[in-house]
Structure 1
Amino acid sequence: MLLGASEARLRVERELSVELVWTGPTTRFVPTRRTEQVLLDLIASATTDLFLVSFVAYDVQSVVAALNEAGSRGVRLRVLIEASKEHGGTLDKDLVPKMRSSIPSAEVFTWRKRVEPFVDGKVHAKVAVVDGARAFITSANLTGHALEKNMEAGVLINGGPVPKTLSDHLQALIDVRIIDRA
C-alpha cells in the first residue's frame, strides 16, 4: 500500500503543478516568478490555442511581440477585453481597434449583452489558458504598470483539470453568445 500511495503521489506531482507568481517587492525568503515572465513563457509554449482575458490591455510591447510570434507559428489567439461604453461596456476608450492593429491575427471578444443580474458587470477576470493544459490566473491586467510596477499575485497551473475546464468555459461563453467578436 505504501508503494502504491508513493507512486500515486509522484504521478500527481508529475501531472499537476501550481506555482505562485508575484510582481512587486520581493524578499529573499520566498522564490517567485514575475507576472510578465510567466505570461511570456506561456505564450512561447503555446502550440495550438491561447486565450487571454483582461479588463484592459495596453503598453505591453513585450507581450504584443510574443503574441505576434505565436500567431506566426499558427497558434489561435483569442483575447477577451472590456468593451467601451459606446459598445455596451464600461470603458471610456475603445481598446478594440488598438488590439486589432497591434495583434492582427488575434480574435478579439467583448461582453456586450449583459442581462440580469450582470447588467452592471465588467470583464474583470485576468486569465491566460494555453492549449487547454496550462492556466494562469492573476490579479494583473495586461498593462505596463501591472506587469512591471504594481503588486500583483497569481497562480500558474500546469496540468490537472482546471486549465481544460477554464478553456471549455471560455469557449462555451462564445458558443452561447455571452461574449461576441468585437
Structure 2
Amino acid sequence: MSRKRFEAAAATAAASLGLTRTKALATLLSQGRSPAYILGRLQTPAALEAVSELLASMTEDGVPSAETAAYLRGYAAAWTRRREDTEARAVWSGPSTPGTPGRSTAQVLTEVVGAAQHRLVAVTYSARSYAPLTAALSEAVARGVTVDIVVETLKGAGGLLSGSEPGDAFSRIPGLRLWHWPTGQRPTPGSRLHAKLAVADDRILFLSSANLTAAGAERNIEAGVLLNGGPMPGRMADHIRELQRRGVLARWPGA
C-alpha cells in the first residue's frame, strides 16, 4: 500500500521538530494521545503545521499511532548514529596566507543554505540585502524548506545600527519567517542579539563572526567554523526552537 503522504509528512515533521522533540512526539503517539493534546503539548510554532499534516496523513493513510511512533524513533536513531561523526572546517574571509583555509564566508554561507532540504535557521545581528544570499534563500523556500531568520532590530541595537531595519533585507522573500528578540524579553537594558550562525537540517552548523551582509561575506576579515554532523548542529537548532516556543524569540512585528 502506498503511503506517500504519510512518509513525506513524517520526514517534514521530524526535520521541523529536531531530534529531541521528534522523540517527544513519538512518546505522545505511543501513549495514544489525541491530536489536540499532542499539538497543545508540543507548542512549537515553527513545527505546528508540519505536525498537523502528519496527524492528518495518519488518518488518511490508515497508519496507527504506535506505528507512527516507531517510524519517528527510526528517524531519531538514524540521526543519533549520524551525529557520532563530525567534520569540522575553518572558514576565513580577508587577506590570505599560504595556510589560509580554502573556503570563504560567502561560499560557505550559500552552500549551507543550498544544502537544506527541510529546515534552515539563521541568526544575525546586522543584515543588508546581499544578492547571492537572497537568491539562495529564495530557492530554499521554493523547494519547500522552512526558513527562519532571527535578526536584531534597530530598537534592540539601541542606536548601534543605523539605516533601515535589518529585517528589511529579507522582505522580498515570500514564505521566509522572520524572528526577533523583543526588548521586553531581554534580561537587562543594552542586551544585544549578537549571534551569527546558520543551521541546515540539524546536521550542518556554520558559526561565524560575519553578519548576513555583503561586507561580512566578502569584504571584512571574518572567521568561522563549519561543522558537518555530530551533536552540535541539532543542539543549536533545538535551542533556537525552544526559545521560539517560550516566546523569548517572537515573530517579526507585522509578519
On whether the aligned pair clears a TM of 0.5, the verdict is yes
Task: Give 1:115 deviation, angstroms.
Answer: 4.6
Closer, same or farther in 2 for the Cα pair 1:158/1:77, shift >3 Å?
A: same
Closer, same or farther in 2 for the Cα pair 1:62/1:157, shift >3 Å?
A: same
CA contact (8 A) 2:116 2:140 kept: yes
Secondary structure of residue in 1 paired with 2:148: strand
Q: Does 1:94 align with 2:165?
A: yes
Percent of residue pairs identical: 36
Structure with bigger helix share is 2
Task: Give 1:114 deviation, angstroms.
Answer: 4.0
Secondary structure of residue in 2 paired with 1:136: strand
| Equivalent residue letter for 2:109 | L
Aligned equivalent of 2:97: 27
Aligned equivalent of 1:54: 124
Q: Does 1:151 align with 2:216?
A: no
Counterpart of 2:136 (choices 66, 72, 83) is 66
Distance in structure 2 (CA, Å) of the matches to 1:122 and 1:81: 10
What CA deviation, in whole Å up to 9, does each residue of 1:123-167 have, x standing for no partner? 100000000111000000011111111000000011111000000
CA contact (8 A) 2:92 2:100 kept: no
Task: Give 1:56 deviation, angstroms.
Answer: 1.3
Gaps of 5+ in 1: 1-10
Distance in structure 2 (CA, Å) of the matches to 1:150 and 1:89: 21
Secondary structure of residue in 2 paired with 1:57: coil
CA contact (8 A) 1:84 1:94 kept: yes
Q: TM-score, normalised by structure 1?
A: 0.85
- Following TM superposition, the consecutive aligned residue runs of length 4 or more in structure 1 with deviations greater than 4 angstroms are 11-14
Counterpart of 1:16 (choices 80, 86, 103) is 86
Which structure would you say has the larger RCO, counting Cα contacts within 8 Å and 6 or more residues apart?
1
Question: Which is higher, the Rg of structure 1 or of structure 2?
Answer: 2
Task: Give 1:57 deviation, angstroms.
Answer: 1.1
| Aligned-pair Cα RMSD in Å | 2.1
Closer, same or farther in 2 for the Cα pair 1:39/1:168, shift >3 Å?
A: same
Secondary structure of residue in 1 paired with 2:97: coil
Aligned equivalent of 1:6: none
Task: Give 1:98 deviation, angstroms.
Answer: 4.3
Closer, same or farther in 2 for the Cα pair 1:98/1:157, shift >3 Å?
A: closer
CA contact (8 A) 1:134 1:157 kept: yes
Q: When the two structures are aligned, how many residues end up with a matched partner?
A: 169
Distance in structure 2 (CA, Å) of the matches to 1:155 and 1:176: 29
Aligned equivalent of 1:3: none
Aligned equivalent of 1:132: 202
